[in-house]
Each structure stands twice: as structure tokens, then as C-alpha cells.
């Protein structure tokens, strides 16, 4: 086992065959870590896992396999991305979210504690805030989720806090805002079938996979009436995970909950304007009613992450995000 970056073991990445997880795998490998991915391949793809990593095809709640993997690979840190991520689906099928996000993470945490894994990084979400009391929202503002997705993740944050108080493990919960874009080198991107996220949908429309883009809600209390979000480039987010891991290793007695965003928001119309500029097209917009569970605006106050980590955003430009998303979408379209 090589000694890397003070970790003295491998990083287990759950959901490493998925969108954000596959970018974290790339960032870890590029930084010199050894990686083992655990993914059930229900929504992820084996080809999305860089061949430098080992892929174990299993569910994270399969404690026998997860514990054996931790031992066999001397896992010293877990980055936990596996889970379900579609807000409207969480409203119609809440128990799926409490199973895949909350209960499955409870099992994973038990495996981590029993096997003595000292560091844990968790994909949390801005949806834990619900309708924020103020925008930009800060980490210690009230967390009152307005959909089961947000609640399923908030319950996991509570478990992490209690587990870290009782056992020798520290954690970083990163509350993601709206993740978009793709690896600038074209090695991975958002490949989910039936994606629901705005920038993905818009670039699918740009490549002819969809006829138009629906705009969900025009009567929000925002400057143009459409929903405002803080879009963060997936490669910046992946880099933040590596930086967070280094912090956890350097200060093993401390845990952190940090917003992962850019401290600026764009409305749905502004995003679609950027897509039109980048593609030199006019993609048809269909103005529709609000979608279940959507708050008007979510923007990160990112002072805490900037203070805690040496990490700095490098691709925090909306057109860059759209360009990278579009390049990946074109690659997928060629592949057919
Ligand atoms: N949205 C939209 N049309 C779409 C998908 C999303 O108008 O086809 C809006 C959605 O209502 C929200 C924003 O775009 O205001 C971002 O939604 P997304 O699903 O990308 O992420 P979420 O904020 O729900 O995590």
C-alpha cells in the first residue's frame, strides 16, 4: 500500500459511477489518492469509473461487502455520493428517499464505525434549508426542508453529528447547491438517463434530444419571476471534496458542515439565455406552473468554505459551466 497524502490507505467513493461521484474519483486520482468505488450501477455506469480505480458493484447497505471492501483496501476515508437526487420524485415517493438516502447511509456509517474508518465526507444539499430565511443562506440558518429529499439528507447530517460525537470519526458535510457542467478534459459528465436538472435538460435540447425546455414557475418572488439557483461547476465541487479530505486528515478532532456554492444566483431565464448564447441558438421555452417542492431562490453564502479550505473556485462562470455541459452532451449524442 502506497503512502499518499498522509492518508495511509484508500478512499472509498460510494456512487463513484454517478455524476458527481465520478468527478470526485477523477479529482482524487489526479491528486495521487488510491480509490475504490462502491456503486450498485442502478443509475451509474461502469464506464464512468476511471480504470485507475477499483469498482466493487454492490449496494452501500450490503454491510458484508462494504466491510470486506474497507478491510481489503485499507480504506481510511469514505466519500459518500450514493443516493437518490430528484426533488419531485422525493415528493411522490418519499420512502424511496428515506431508504436510499437515510437508511442506506445508516448502514454505511455502521460499517465505517465498526471497521474504524476515521474520515467521512457526505454529499449534503442546499435542500436541507427548505425556503431559506435569507439569501445567500448561511450554514447556521434554520434547516427546515420543504421536500423529502432535503429531509432525507438532513436526517443523515444528524446521524453524522451523533456518530462523530460517539466514535473516532470526523466528517465534512458539503451542502451542494446546483451542480452542473462536466470534466473540462471530457472524461466524465452528467450521463443520467431521464435527467431532470435544468442545465442538463437545456443542453439536451441544444443537441436535439428534446424539442423545448419547460420553465417551471414564472411567479416566484425573484427579479424575473423564475427560480434562482447557485450553479456550481462539478469539477470545482470535486476539488472541494479533495480539499475537505485534507482538512479532515489534518485536524481529526474537527467536523464541518459547509455550503458548496459560489455566492451568486441565476434565474431559469438567465441560465437559458446563457445556453442560447453558447449554442448560438434560440431554444424554445415553455412557461409552465411551479414544480412540487421548489423554493424561489437558493444561493450559498460561501464564506465558511472559503475560510475552512484552501480550495478556490476555478470555473465559476455560467457560460463555462454551460460550455462544459454541452461538450459532454455532444459526446453522449455521438456515442448514441
Ligand atoms: N427548472 C425548470 N425547468 C426544468 C428543470 C428545472 O424551470 O426543466 C427549474 C426548477 O424549477 C428550479 C431550477 O430550474 O427553479 C433548478 O432546478 P433543478 O431541477 O436543476 O435543480 P434543483 O434546484 O431542483 O435541485
Cell of 57: 458493484
Query: In sequence order, which residues have a C-beta less than 8 Å from that of residue 79 and are 6 or more positions away?
Result: 11, 12, 13, 14, 21, 24, 28, 121, 241, 245
Instruction: Give the CA angle between residues 147, 267, 296 to the nearest 5°.
Output: 35
Place of cell 481529526: 252
First to last CA, the chain: 40
Of ligand 1's listed atoms, the one at least distance from the Cα of 290 is 11
For CATH 3.40.50.720, the residue range(s) in the chain are 8-180+231-260
CA 200 – CA 79 distance, rounded (Å): 24
Ligand 1 pocket check for 196: Cβ under 6 Å: yes
| Cis ω before 136 (30° cut-off from 0) | yes
In three-state secondary structure terms, 246 is: helix
Closest CA to 22 of 63, 52, 1: 52
Q: Which H or E element spans position 214?
A: strand 213-216
| CA nearest ligand 1 atom 11, residue | 216
CA 15 – CA 190 distance, rounded (Å): 13
Closest CA to 295 of 96, 142, 126, 151: 126
Q: Give the pLDDT of residue 2.
A: 43
Ligand 1 pocket check for 202: Cβ under 6 Å: no
Catalytic residue from among 149, 171, 176, 231: 149
Q: Is 97 a catalytic residue?
A: no
| CA nearest ligand 1 atom 12, residue | 227
Beta-strand pair 228-229/266-267: antiparallel
Please tell me the number of Cα atoms within 13 Å of 336 on its side-chain side: 0
Q: CA distances (Å), 250 to each of 84, 109, 255, 333, in order?
A: 31, 21, 11, 43
Q: CA distances (Å), 110 to each of 62, 104, 249, in order?
A: 11, 10, 20
Q: Give the pLDDT of residue 28.
A: 98
Q: CA distances (Å), 221 to each of 33, 63, 217, 228, 317, in order?
A: 45, 46, 10, 10, 24
Per-residue pLDDT of the chain (336 residues; tens, 9 = 90+): 444 467 989 999 999 999 999 999 999 999 999 999 999 999 999 999 999 999 999 999 999 999 999 999 999 999 999 999 988 899 999 999 999 999 999 999 999 999 999 999 999 999 999 999 999 999 999 999 999 999 999 999 999 999 999 999 999 999 999 999 999 999 999 998 888 899 999 999 999 999 999 999 999 999 999 999 999 999 999 999 999 999 999 999 999 999 999 999 999 999 999 999 999 999 999 999 999 878 899 999 999 999 999 999 999 999 999 999 999 999 999 987
Would you state the CATH architecture of domain 8-180+231-260? Answer: 3-Layer(aba) Sandwich (3.40)
Is the CB of residue 134 less than 8 Å from the CB of residue 283? no
Is the CB of residue 264 less than 8 Å from the CB of residue 317? no
For CATH 3.90.25.10, the residue range(s) in the chain are 198-229+263-301+314-331
Query: In sequence order, which residues have a C-beta less than 8 Å from that of residue 283 and are 6 or more positions away?
Result: 202, 205, 206, 212, 213, 272, 275, 276
Q: At what angle do helices 268-279 and 198-206 cross, to 10 degrees?
A: 30
Q: Give the pLDDT of residue 307.
A: 98
Place of cell 453524522: 160
Ligand 1 pocket check for 201: Cβ under 6 Å: yes
Q: How many beta carbons lie within 10 A of that of residue 4, not counting itself?
A: 16
Query: In sequence order, which residues have a C-beta less than 8 Å from that of residue 140 and are 6 or more positions away?
Result: none
Of ligand 1's listed atoms, the one at least distance from the Cα of 127 is 25
Domain 198-229+263-301+314-331 has CATH 3.90.25.10: yes
CA dihedral 31, 36, 40, 43 (to 10 degrees): 10
Q: Give the pLDDT of residue 5.
A: 63
Amino acid at each position: 500500500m502506497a503512502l499518499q497524502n498522509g492518508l495511509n490507505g484508500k478512499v472509498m467513493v460510494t456512487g463513484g459511477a454517478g455524476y458527481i461521484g465520478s468527478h470526485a474519483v477523477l479529482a482524487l486520482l489526479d491528486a495521487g489518492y488510491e480509490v475504490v468505488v462502491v456503486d450498485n450501477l442502478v443509475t451509474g455506469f461502469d464506464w464512468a469509473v476511471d480504470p485507475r480505480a477499483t469498482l466493487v458493484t454492490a449496494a452501500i447497505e450490503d454491510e458484508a461487502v462494504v466491510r470486506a471492501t474497507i478491510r481489503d483496501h485499507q480504506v481510511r476515508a469514505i466519500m459518500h455520493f450514493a443516493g437518490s437526487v430528484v426533488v419531485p420524485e422525493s415528493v411522490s415517493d418519499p420512502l424511496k428517499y428515506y431508504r436510499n438516502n437515510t437508511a442506506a447511509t445508516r448502514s454505511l456509517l455502521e460499517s465505517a464505525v465498526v471497521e474504524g474508518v476515521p474520515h467521512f465526507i457526505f454529499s449534503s444539499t442546499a435542500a436541507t434549508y427548505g425556503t431559506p430565511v435569507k439569501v445567500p443562506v448561511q450554514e447556521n440558518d434554520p434547516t427546515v426542508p420543504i421536500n423529502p429529499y432535503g429531509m432525507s439528507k438532513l436526517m443523515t447530517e444528524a446521524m453524522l453529528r451523533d456518530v462523530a460525537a460517539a466514535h473516532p470519526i470526523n466528517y465534512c458535510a458539503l451542502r451542494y447547491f446546483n451542480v452542473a457542467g462536466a470534466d473540462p478534459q471530457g472524461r466524465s459528465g452528467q450521463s443520467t438517463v431521464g435527467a431532470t436538472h435544468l442545465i442538463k435538460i437545456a443542453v439536451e435540447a441544444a443537441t436535439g434530444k428534446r424539442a423545448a425546455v419547460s420553465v417551471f414557475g414564472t411567479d416566484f418572488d425573484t427579479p424575473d419571476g423564475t427560480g434562482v439557483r447557485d450553479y456550481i461547476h462539478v469539477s470545482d465541487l470535486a476539488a472541494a471534496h479533495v480539499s475537505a479530505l485534507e482538512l479532515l486528515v489534518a485536524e481529526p478532532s474537527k467536523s464541518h458542515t459547509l455550503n458548496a456554492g459560489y455566492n451568486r444566483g441565476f434565474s431559469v431565464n438567465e441560465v437559458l439565455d446563457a445556453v442560447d448564447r453558447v449554442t448560438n441558438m434560440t431554444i424554445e421555452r415553455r412557461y409552465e406552473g411551479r414544480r412540487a417542492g421548489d423554493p424561489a431562490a437558493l444561493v450559498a453564502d460561501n464564506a465558511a468554505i472559503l475560510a475552512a479550505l484552501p480550495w478556490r473556485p476555478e470555473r465559476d462562470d455560467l457560460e463555462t459551466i454551460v460550455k462544459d455541459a454541452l461538450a459532454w452532451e455532444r459526446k453522449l449524442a455521438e456515442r448514441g
